[in-house]
């Protein structure tokens, strides 16, 4: 069970830490250094292409390790309330990411390729808002995990 916990936490660190870095550190710098929409939007498209590979890996590890730990705890009927909360919030985060990846990010790529900068900017704003929401949900989930121990 300890190995599963380590893998689970590493997945969370990569995903939530990556969102924090992108949202709180990288975004303000990019906004200052790349003021023109074409440069900025191309940059973010490339950043997301790289980061989303890590998110997919993190989600896979988080989900597999979490479900395995739930099984070891006796299944969904025997869980403490905090584990239900973490599972529910984590599931919401994954669904939000799926929307970001399959809808907003695809729009961003399509609009950047077509050089439709205004539409690409709107897609980027949508991604930013959803990443911000997921970051908050990630912090709440981490707090639930820590406060229960």
Give mean pLDDT in consecutive 10-residue pieces for the chain, a chain of 149 residues. Answer: 94 98 96 94 97 98 96 91 96 98 98 98 98 98 89
- Structural domain tally of the chain? 1
- Nearest C-alpha neighbor of 104 from the set 86, 131, 78, 84: 131
pLDDT of residue 149: 58
pLDDT of residue 16: 98
Q: Which domain holds residue 130?
A: 2-148
Q: What predicted TM-score, i.e. pTM, was given to this entire model?
A: 0.94
pLDDT of residue 137: 98
pLDDT of residue 148: 73
C-alpha gyration radius of the chain? 17
Q: What share of the chain is helix, strand, coil (3-state, %, to 5)?
A: 90, 0, 10
- Cα-Cα end-to-end distance for the chain: 16
Q: Could you tell me the two tokens for 12?
A: 């969370």
pLDDT of residue 78: 86
pLDDT of residue 18: 98
Number of Cβ within 10 Å of residue 119's Cβ equals 16
């Amino acid at each position: 069970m300890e190995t599963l916990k380590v893998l689970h936490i590493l997945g969370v660190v990569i995903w939530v830490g990556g969102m924090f870095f992108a949202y709180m550190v990288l975004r303000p710098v990019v906004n200052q250094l790349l003021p023109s929409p074409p440069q900025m939007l191309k940059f973010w498209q490339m950043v997301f292409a790289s980061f989303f590979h890590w998110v997919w890996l993190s989600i896979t590890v988080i989900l597999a390790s979490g479900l395995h730990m739930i099984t070891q705890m006796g299944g969904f009927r025997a869980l403490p309330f905090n584990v239900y909360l973490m599972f529910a919030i984590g599931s919401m985060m994954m669904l939000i990411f799926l929307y970001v990846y399959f809808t907003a990010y695809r729009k961003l790529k399509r609009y950047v390729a077509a050089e439709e900068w205004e539409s690409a900017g709107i897609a980027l704003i949508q991604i930013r808002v959803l990443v911000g929401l997921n970051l908050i949900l990630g912090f709440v989930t981490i707090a639930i995990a820590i406060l229960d121990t």
